[in-house]
Structure formats: C-alpha cells, structure tokens
Amino acid sequence: MPADPLHRAGMPQRSTTSQPPSGSGASAIEVRRSSRRRRTVSAYREGDRTVVLIPARMSEAEEQRWVTVMLDKLAAQESKRVLGDDELTERAERLSAQYFDGRARPTSVRWVTNQNTRWGSCTPAEGSIRLSHRLQGMPEYVVDYVLLHELAHLLVPGHGPRFWRLLEAYPRTERARGYLEGVVAAERLPHLPGARGE
C-alpha cells in the first residue's frame, strides 16, 4: 500500500496549539511534528500565530525547550528589522482593515526623528501619522499598537471612552502599553557609574 500522501509530503503528524510563554510576541503557538523532519527545528509567524516545526520523535521536554529557543530567535530577528515608510503605510492600512473595518484611512505614515517625548502623533485634518524612530527595533506588536493608537485618532479625537473602546479590539493593547511604560521607566532610572576599573 502506498505511503500516506500527507506524510510523504512532510505534513505534520501531530499539531498542538498553546498559549505562549510570557514575553513572547505571538498570541498562540502551534507546534507541528513531522516524521520527515529528523534533526532540524524551524519557526515562522503565520498571522497572529507562531508555528514551530519539530521532529515527531522529540520528547515533550525537548519540545518546550525548542519552542522557547525559537521564540527568542524570531524576536531577535524581528527587532533588527526596520520597516520603511511604505511598509508602515501598508501595515497601517492592514491594521485599519482588521480592527476598524477600514474606516481609518491615513494619507501618510512615516518615521520621524523629532519625537523624543511621544511615541507617535496624528494630524486628523491632514490624515498624517508620524511614529517616533525610538520605536524601531521594538517588538512588532508594540509598533502595531502605536499605529492603531494613531489610526484611532483619525476616527476619534482625544482619549475619551469612545477612543479606548476602539483600541479594545486589539488584543495586545495592555501588553504593548506595559512594554512602553517599562521603556519610559527604564529611561528615568539613574545612570550609575560603572564597576571599578571601567
């Protein structure tokens, strides 16, 4: 009898989905086991999910260890990647479609270097959004939150209840706000002199 075509093509033998460990950028992790995969482990983002591909023979403990390793690798790769202004605009359009039914339509989205006390700004009359260059290298979910925050201002001026209700649609709002608050708090810490001999 011929081999199962799904397994012959390297499709996963078993797939599990779980919530991520604290600190990861994805909302869910899907582990796919493959009988064709012998030693290699790989991972990639698929929408709002992280997919980790592992050999079928791996123990549960090895699986957990490799998931952590691969999440760290993906986060490191993403933090090095800087989006250009065109990519920011595309991302803003995608986020508007996903969370605001496409109602927030920016005319321009760009990085700026003159915003050192705020993460982003918006001029609703012009439809322009500017993000601080300090966001570059931060996790994607944080950049997405700031983009959504400014997109929401195209629909609702100010920070009243209606504004915050719009942002409730984004599942990582609180997490992103916490991340940014941590960055601000770290910047305010006193800079202590280095150890002796430095």
Contacts of residue 152, Cβ cutoff 8 Å, sequence gap at least 6: 100, 104, 163, 166, 167
Rounded to 5 degrees, what angle do the CA atoms 147, 151, 155 make? 165
Cα(39)–Cα(32) distance, integer angstroms: 14
Strands (E), 48-176: 49-55, 108-112, 120-123, 128-132
The rounded percent of the chain whose pLDDT value lies above 90 is 44
**What would the pLDDT profile of 142-174 be if each residue is shown by its tens digit?**
999 999 999 999 999 889 999 999 999 999 999
**Dist CA 33 CA 24 (whole Å):** 21
Residue 4 has pLDDT above 60, yes or no: no
- Cβ(5)–Cβ(27) below 8 Å: no
Its pTM stands at 0.59
Residue 81 has pLDDT above 70, yes or no: no
Spatial distance between the Cα atoms of 51 and 54, rounded to a whole number of angstroms: 10
pLDDT (0 to 100) of residue 87: 87
pLDDT the model gives residue 69 = 87
197 has a pLDDT exceeding 60: no
Model confidence over 86-117: pLDDT tens digits? 888 999 999 999 999 999 999 999 999 898 88
What is the pLDDT at residue 193?
A: 59
| Alpha carbon distances (Å) from 151 to 40, 60, 119, 135, 182 | 41, 42, 13, 16, 23
What lies within 8 Å, CB to CB, of 158 at 6+ separation is none
User: Strand ranges (DSSP E) for the chain?
Assistant: 14-18, 28-34, 42-46, 49-55, 108-112, 120-123, 128-132
